[in-house]
Amino acid sequence: VIMTSSLTFEPVLERIAEEIEHTPGRGRPADYIPALAAGDPRRFGMAVAEVDGTVYGVGDWREPFSTQSVTKVFTLALDLAREGDELWAHVGREPSGNAFNSLVQLEYEDGIPRNPFINAGALVVTDRLLTRTGDAAGTLLDFLRTESGNGALDFDLEVAASETAHGDRNAALAHFMASYGNIHNPVPLLLDQYFKQCSVRASCADLALATAFLARHGVRADGSRLFTRSQAKQVNAVMLTCGTYDAAGDFAYRVGLPGKSGVGGGIVAVVPGRCTLCVWSPGLDDRGNSVAGVAALDRFTTLTGLSVF
Ligand code: GLN
């Protein structure tokens, strides 16, 4: 089923949902905080947003879930829009080949994280956005509400509190980078912002719509420009190479799209110029990516022939 016309993707989504339902082995929900450990791996939703703002989906595509690291795409874009290339002096853009919460490379690289999508890099981005806006999490939430058209999106303060209670590793990352002068706000304030950011609840529909500026080469839902076409390309490129952590090579091989995952089981993906996708299923593989989510995106690009390659 190679689709190149402007036909709706709905039949493809139906077929994928059907296939996924019969696929055994859904992975396990993240278990580092109780709120995520309760996730049911049988849940599955998938949404497509066209660049014109049309959105549709299958399964649990309107069910809100914990967005977690998917938010790192938006904080990166929001910060890049404000400071441009200056950001890259403080965070790299190379895949890490290590787990998303790894500390090992920081000492060798003088407190400069490998990329903005591992936790260390996301903490740097949130710190810089916090300095520029006074409220990084609030700036993120406003953006998500506006782009998705869903003013009800909000933080899940219970999840944020739970992250704080189990936050030693992120605190260690932030303090270690602060020792190199790469964090500019008090670490407790930064962690509070970062955990609120990760706690945002949104559905596949919300996130597909909110990501659409990346398919529109930097143009927001209201037609204004967030950042340049070149910056949209930069964010998509970093998603492709780093968005699924140490599985980014396999994700590029199977899916062939820029993508960003989170431990809540969500993944967003971009078909530049055409559409955005969001899948959700809470069962993760050992790299922290949704098993059914990656499988569904793999099937989508295979069935439609749409990928950046
Ligand atoms: N809040 C999580 C953490 O910082 C997000 C990680 C993720 O989604 N990969 O550990």
CA distance 261 to 71: 9
Nearest to 50 by CA among 200, 202, 205: 205
| Separation of CA 146 from chain center | 17
Q: What atom in ligand 1 is closest to the CA of residue 69?
A: 8
What pLDDT shows up at residue 273?
97
Hey, how many other C-beta atoms are within 10 angstroms of the C-beta on 8? 12
Q: Which one-letter amino acid corresponds to residue 148?
A: S
| Active-site residue flag, 194 | yes
CA distance 29 to 283: 4
Does 34 fall in a domain? yes
How many helices, marked H, and strands, marked E, lie in the chain?
A: 13, 7
Does 243 fall in a domain? yes
Strand, helix or coil for residue 82:
helix
User: Cβ contacts of residue 309 below 8 Å, gap of 6+?
Assistant: 256
Q: Which tens digit of pLDDT belongs to each residue from 167-194?
A: 999 999 999 999 999 999 999 999 999 9
Q: Which tens digit of pLDDT belongs to each residue from 195-219?
A: 999 999 999 999 999 999 999 999 9
User: Cβ contacts of residue 15 below 8 Å, gap of 6+?
Assistant: 299, 303
Answer for the pair 30, 284: CB distance below 8 angstroms, yes or no: yes
Q: Which one-letter amino acid corresponds to residue 184?
A: H
Average pLDDT over every residue of 106-110: 90
Does 277 fall in a domain? yes
Q: Which one-letter amino acid corresponds to residue 139?
A: T
| Domain count along the chain | 1
- Per-residue confidence at 2, pLDDT binned at 50, 70, 90? very low
Q: What atom in ligand 1 is closest to the CA of residue 70?
A: 8
**Domain of residue 29, residue span:** 10-304
User: Is 187 assigned to a binding site?
Assistant: no
Nearest to 147 by CA among 215, 229, 235, 63: 215
Q: Among the options 263, 270, 279, 294, which is catalytic?
A: 263
For ligand 1, atom 4: residue with the closest CA? 119
The domain that holds 231 is classified in CATH as 3.40.710.10
User: Is 194 assigned to a binding site?
Assistant: yes
Crossing angle of helices 119-133 and 71-83, rounded to 10°? 50
Q: Which tens digit of pLDDT belongs to each residue from 279-289?
A: 999 999 999 99
Least confident of 40-49, 104-113, 144-153, 206-215: 104-113
| Active-site residue flag, 72 | yes
Reading phi first (left if > 0) and then psi (alpha if -120 to 50, else beta), residue 284 is in beta
Does 2 fall in a domain? no
Q: Which tens digit of pLDDT belongs to each residue from 287-304?
A: 999 999 999 999 999 999
CA distance 201 to 67: 6
Q: Among the options 12, 66, 69, 148, which is catalytic?
A: 69
Q: Is 256 in the pocket of ligand 1 (CB under 6 A)?
A: no
User: Is 263 assigned to a binding site?
Assistant: yes
- Ligand 1 centroid distance, CA of 122 (Å): 10
Q: Is 68 in the pocket of ligand 1 (CB under 6 A)?
A: yes
Q: Write phi, then psi, for 56 (nearest 5 degrees).
A: -150, 170
Does 67 fall in a domain? yes
Q: Is 263 in the pocket of ligand 1 (CB under 6 A)?
A: yes
Cα Rg, the chain, nearest whole Å: 18
Question: Which sign does the torsion angle of CA 37, 163, 193, 294 carry?
Answer: negative
| Separation of CA 32 from chain center | 19
Q: Which tens digit of pLDDT belongs to each residue from 77-96?
A: 999 999 999 999 999 999 98
Q: Among the options 58, 66, 102, 245, which is catalytic?
A: 245
Question: Which sign does the torsion angle of CA 51, 55, 256, 29 carry?
Answer: positive
Q: Is 197 in the pocket of ligand 1 (CB under 6 A)?
A: no
Does 3 fall in a domain? no
Q: Which residue has the tokens 């016309």?
A: 5
Nearest to 292 by CA among 257, 267, 260: 267
Nearest to 294 by CA among 273, 271, 276, 269: 269
Average pLDDT, the chain: 95
Does 5 fall in a domain? no
Nearest to 171 by CA among 155, 196, 199, 192: 192
Q: What atom in ligand 1 is closest to the CA of residue 122?
A: 4
Q: How many percent of the chain have pLDDT more than 70?
A: 98
The first and second tokens of residue 147, run together, are 């782009």
Hey, how many other C-beta atoms are within 10 angstroms of the C-beta on 66? 26
Does 187 fall in a domain? yes
The first and second tokens of residue 190, run together, are 């930064």
Q: What atom in ligand 1 is closest to the CA of residue 198?
A: 1
The first and second tokens of residue 260, run together, are 């960003």
Residue 71 has pLDDT above 80, yes or no: yes
Q: Is 156 in the pocket of ligand 1 (CB under 6 A)?
A: no
